[in-house]
Amino acid sequence: TFELLGRHRYRKGQGVLGVGDPAYGGVDGVQTRRRGPSLAPLPATRAEVEAITTGSGDRHLLGAEATEHGLRTALSAKGPDHVWKSVHLACHAIVDVESPSMTSLALTPGGGEDGLLSSAEVLQLNLRTDLAVLSACRTARGKYVRGEGLMSLTRAFMFAGAPRLIVSLWDVDDDATAFLMTTFYREWNAGRSTAQALRRAQLSVRDHEIRDASSGKTSRPWSDPKYWGAWVLWGLPE
């Protein structure tokens, strides 16, 4: 996969395509069985995606628009030669370590689709982007297969064409993640490398302070690594 990615040298990408705050209501039948427990809304992902898609070339899909079909359409909406700077997916992830092809990003059901964008379906995408960000829980997790390596969403997105990914190793906090991602894009858009921007965003979450209005004391509610240490960068060097 690394070798194939290294052969493609697209021109530098433009614009962020963000997907967030999927509508998880109204799921029944086989969809419920595949999803497991009901998926709670993720309101912070809407603010996250809105904050990172403020440029003239950006686009976002939120709520009812955040479907599988909507994503596929948006990926190619600017023409077959367009390269996105980032494709950012903020949602729930359903990780199946034993059957990694069924590991999915949970989007909005609709149009005859269950809303579960599985690793197997990701392999069919044509991702022309500098970076994919899977802003969900445990998106780096997978199964080691002898002779193949780690089979996961990360592998699927790279195979589909993303040369670099930001993914998570464990369950992440909704609000801390929104803060981290907003900071990451601000640093990245300022010209820092992906790795530098991610590191600065993680440190920003770790050092974030809030002040108690009554006592005047400050605290760092996200100092524990569980709030910022899950995020890792995979892929090719820049």
pLDDT in tens, the chain (238 residues): 778 777 776 668 899 999 999 998 744 433 444 545 578 889 899 999 999 999 999 999 999 999 999 999 999 999 988 999 999 999 999 988 888 889 999 999 988 888 999 999 999 999 999 999 999 999 999 888 888 888 899 999 999 999 999 999 999 999 999 999 999 999 999 999 999 999 999 999 999 999 888 888 889 999 999 999 999 999 988 8
pTM over 0.85: yes
User: What rounded mean pLDDT belongs to the chain?
Assistant: 90
Nearest in space to 204 (alpha carbons), one of 183, 227, 175, 230? 183
Residue 3: partners with Cβ closer than 8 Å, 6 or more residues away: none
Q: Report the DSSP beta bridge partners of residue 20.
A: 62, 90
- Cα separation, 158 vs 15, whole angstroms: 19
Cα–Cα dist 227/223, whole Å? 7
